[in-house]
Structure 1
Amino acid sequence: MGRLTTRSQALRIHAEGDGVTRSPRVETLAVEEPLEIRVNGQSLTVTMRTPGDDFDLAMGWLLSEQVISRAAQVATMMHCLDADESGSPTYNVVDVVLQPGVSLSPEVSARRGYTSSACGICGSASIEAITRGGRHNLSLNRTMLQVRVLTTMTEQLEQSQKVFARTGGLHAAGLFTVEGELLCLREDVGRHNAVDKVIGWAGRQDRALDETVLMVSGRAGFELVQKSVLAGIPIMAAVSAPSSLAVELAKETGLTLIAFVRPPRLTVYAHPHRLDSDAKHPG
């Protein structure tokens, strides 16, 4: 498995008043390396990621990009034994084999080289395609969440970001129950990769997502809302701001979108009916 962090020489400069001081130091950096995902021998994408949980990332990408409809359609996943210039394995290629009878659609094959859902998507046409083609109808989802439970999730997310605490350079995505239990947290240099890793973890665990909450450490962009909707997650919360297209997609698809979750305040941008100060877990 590749390294999560590495060390680098740096120069700390402190300027105050008329004085400038320079201090050589060694900094800890988050590792960023490419991951190629191959399906039945065909290369579908290369994404820049933080090594670790690569099978979760591959599974999450396959699900959130609708390459497959369920995790059970994957027969095997393995790292190819590719090597760097020194002959050491890089673990930068995941080879996926689908179950017999499951094949790639022509539309998926045509997307070779498509690096992430953040690339090549736009406007109302994308929203219409997601609304029409998604397998989950979130408008029928009756999950409820207590506001006081939601406000505990940011602290849990922050306390669980072990690599961020050392580097300051990673995004995080956390999957919670509506009671506030942290089920899975993943970190990555790419916010969409962190979300894919969480979705992939759930897929590999055969865990339904219809009564869960996705919390992300940064902003709520269109691509993250898209992944939540296609995975069937009814509630998404972000520490930072949403984009206009993310809000539009949430409203159209029935996703409860919450941003600026900085206790004691938060802002709900779409479908606030799922938040209740006296909410009970649906039976």
Structure 2
Amino acid sequence: MTEQPSRALGAILAGGQSSRFGSDKSAAEWQGASLLSHSVRALFDECDEVVVCGGSHEDIPQSAVRLQDIPERGLGPLGGLCAALAHARDRGFDAVLSVPVDAHPVPDGLLERLAGSGPAALHRHWLFGFWPSDLAGALEEHLKAGSRSVLSWIEACGARMVEYTGREIVNVNTPSALEALERMSALGAAADVYGAYELCFEDGRVGEAARIVPVEVPVAIEYNGIGYAVMMATPTDLEDFVTGFSLSEGLASRNQIGEVSLFETGGGWIARANLPASSVPRVAERARSRVSESGCGICGIDSIAAALSPLQPVAAQPRADHAAVHRALSAMRSHQELGRATGAAHAAAFCSFDGEIMLLREDVGRHNALDKLIGALDRQGIDHEQGFVLLSARCSQELVEKTVRCGIPMLVTISAPSTLAIQRAREGRLTLITLARSDTALVMNDPHGLFPPSRRSAKG
């Protein structure tokens, strides 16, 4: 276990007015309380004292102290962090735990995640940081030298970058992002909000967006102590899901299924139920012989760890631009012979980096269509790394994994992703574009900076 500092000061980097948000974000309300109140509450759960750095919101709850930036105002979040470090140094605190006021929800156990030898920050969310108080003088000198970038400070002080795999953190930079956060909260465990960039095909501009995404996790089902299957599901109403799955599989009749017990573990859920003794031989036989009947590649895996096995990141880098993606989208329909005739078939296309459709395969199953395309690429000797895949389907975790494992560097889908699809794309360094329509698309993962925002965030 990571050694914890004996005294930690919590620091909320509150900033000031935001041109994109239109007002002080500290005062904006989520779940009936200000963003500042949520941040203060989260830090008081972990720290001995809490300070608010910058901002103009008058209501500071729970006796938090407001600090002015050091060495002067207007230096961005690092000015607030510098004030917190000086306060911590002068009052005998070992370290500062910092959080931005406009990023929520604050991860649980943040201090334990970040504490350790030297400074640390969350990967992709640099203002969630752990900073030993003896860095106060170094940060002040860094700012006096004219450096205001958070990344420049992270590099200068040698901070560790800590991966975070918990619930997605939403940067509340616009009212629409706050609205998405509120709607997500109402949906509970069924949905999450991911930051994305909206790509406009007409002029190529890229702007910030927040997208509500359905949660997808592996659910391992066990009957009478026998592992039967791992299914990908949204983790709500799981008792109903297991009961209905048991009935639809013909494993039991109504009123024969015992109480469903649920356990959250290892990135998914384990669901356990007891069936009548007469069902056990059939369960045991099916558990031994079950194959991927749905074509998703998950059914029959009796281990959540196996369902989330590590992905080898894609080595190739895509070279397509917004015009190439739009060109492929516009041409795809003319290649879908089965789809046009039936209205009931998915298509998977392999496109060159300039948007030409080189190969397309169709099937009633989206996973099957992609498998057919991958097989055709191999049989025809087409280099998987020299293009991208375009799918007429929802972006699920399985489709992402298939693309990554074949070394294809970019995936474009016409419908929305799941949370697990985004997470696996990040793990596999796959450029992921979803909700691709005639006018816009959402860039959900862009590890190579292929689609840089037209308007950079003020942070960092």
- TM-score bracket, normalised by the shorter chain, equals 0.5 to 0.7
Shift of 1:142: 2.6
Aligned to 1:76: none
Q: Which amino acid aligns with 1:163?
A: L
430, 433, 439: which one pairs with 1:258?
A: 433
383, 386, 407: which one pairs with 1:232?
A: 407
8 Å CA contact 2:430–2:447 kept in 1: the answer is no
Between the aligned residues of both structures, percent identity stands at: 33
Aligned to 1:179: 354
Matches within 5 A, 1:81-92: none
- Say whether 1:129 aligns with 2:304: no
8 Å CA contact 2:316–2:408 kept in 1: the answer is no
Unaligned runs of 5+ residues in structure 2 are 1-287, 453-460
- Say whether 1:248 aligns with 2:414: no
The 3-state SS of whatever aligns with 1:262 is: coil
Number of residue pairs aligned between Structure 1 and Structure 2: 163
Aligned to 1:6: none
279, 285, 296: which one pairs with 1:117?
A: 296
- Say whether 1:210 aligns with 2:390: no
Select the structure that is richer in strand: 1
- Say whether 1:198 aligns with 2:376: no
Q: Which amino acid aligns with 1:167?
A: T
Q: Which amino acid aligns with 2:309?
A: A
Q: Measured at CA, do residues 267 and 150 of structure 1 come closer, stay the same or move farther in structure 2, by a change above 3 Å? A: same
Shift of 1:217: 0.6
8 Å CA contact 1:127–1:249 kept in 2: the answer is no
Shift of 1:119: 3.0
310, 319, 332: which one pairs with 1:144?
A: 319
- Report the aligned-residue RMSD: 2.4
8 Å CA contact 2:433–2:443 kept in 1: the answer is yes
Q: Measured at CA, do residues 123 and 233 of structure 1 come closer, stay the same or move farther in structure 2, by a change above 3 Å? A: farther
258, 273, 277: which one pairs with 2:448?
A: 273
- C-alpha distance after superposition, 1:4-48 (max 9, x if no partner): xxxxxxxxxxxxxxxxxxxxxxxxxxxxxxxxxxxxxxxxxxxxx
Q: Measured at CA, do residues 171 and 225 of structure 1 come closer, stay the same or move farther in structure 2, by a change above 3 Å? A: same
Matches within 5 A, 1:28-107: none
Taking structure 1 as the reference length, the TM-score comes to 0.53
Shift of 1:184: 0.7
Q: Measured at CA, do residues 242 and 112 of structure 1 come closer, stay the same or move farther in structure 2, by a change above 3 Å? A: same
Shift of 1:128: 4.9
Taking structure 2 as the reference length, the TM-score comes to 0.33
Q: Which amino acid aligns with 2:349?
A: G
The 3-state SS of whatever aligns with 2:384 is: coil
- C-alpha distance after superposition, 1:162-206 (max 9, x if no partner): 111111110011000101121111110000010001000011112
The 3-state SS of whatever aligns with 1:269 is: strand
Unaligned runs of 5+ residues in structure 1 are 1-109, 278-283
